[in-house]
Amino acid sequence: MKKHISRRTIVLSMLSIGILQNFFLSTVNAKNNQLTNYKIGNANAKIKIKEFFSLTCGHCKNFHLKTFPLLKKEAIETGIIEFEFVDYPLDKLAMLATSLVRSINVDSYLDAINILFSKQEKWVFSKSQVEELYEIGKIFGVSRVKFDKIIKNYDLMQRILNNMEKESKKFEINSTPTFIVNEKHKISGNISYEQFKEKIFQYTKLKI
């Protein structure tokens, strides 16, 4: 489980390493400068789950590769659950990866995060992390010129941070992954599909 890092800590870290060099971060007009969270499933489902995840988080990876496929097949695709993804990058590299995902076709969002999680050990622990991200970007038709613009797209990073802040005001997020059920119940950490179903039933009295 990856520990929570405050928005201020993330911002200061990025400023110190030059990611947001000469770029003033604020929340002015944040409501008009936010991203829309990616959702899948039945919009009218009685169970709505919101996931806060970071692409460099090992526990998030395990959830997405082991638990999520079962949840998707048995509860999301069958209309029982609407699932919402909240980009919550907790470090510099996660922010770059999130920016990459947010710069490709929205229809490829889920495919992109799946590939990033499945290849996480390769790009996160590489001596050439940014180059490894570029190689993944190429899968989705991202050219070198476009990629270089993405990793310097400070406006996009600001929008990601704004969205993180907006979502964080509603819930106390202490780690990733964290799941919010029907806007009030919290599930934290990488848990098995059976444990996930038990928690859902506990909170909603609905079986999946």
- Residue spans of the domains in the chain: they are 2-19+37-204
- 8 A C-beta contact, residue 182 and residue 204: yes
Least confident of 12-21, 43-52, 71-80, 182-191: 12-21
Q: How far apart are CA 115 and CA 65, in angstroms?
A: 10
Q: Is the pLDDT of residue 127 over 50?
A: yes
Confidence of residue 3 (pLDDT cuts 50, 70, 90): low
Q: For the residues 100-104, what does the mean pLDDT come to? A: 97
- Residue 12 has what pLDDT? 45
| The one-letter amino acid at 91 | D
Where residue 142 falls among pLDDT bands split at 50, 70, 90? very high
Res 1: pLDDT: 56
C-alpha 134, offset from chain centre: 19
State the CATH architecture for 2-19+37-204: 3-Layer(aba) Sandwich (3.40)
Can you tell me the distance from the alpha carbon of 43 to that of 168, in angstroms, rounded to the nearest whole number?
22
Q: Can you tell me the mean pLDDT for 89-94?
A: 95
Please state the pTM of the whole predicted model. 0.86
Nearest residue to 193 via CA among 80, 84, 17, 73: 73
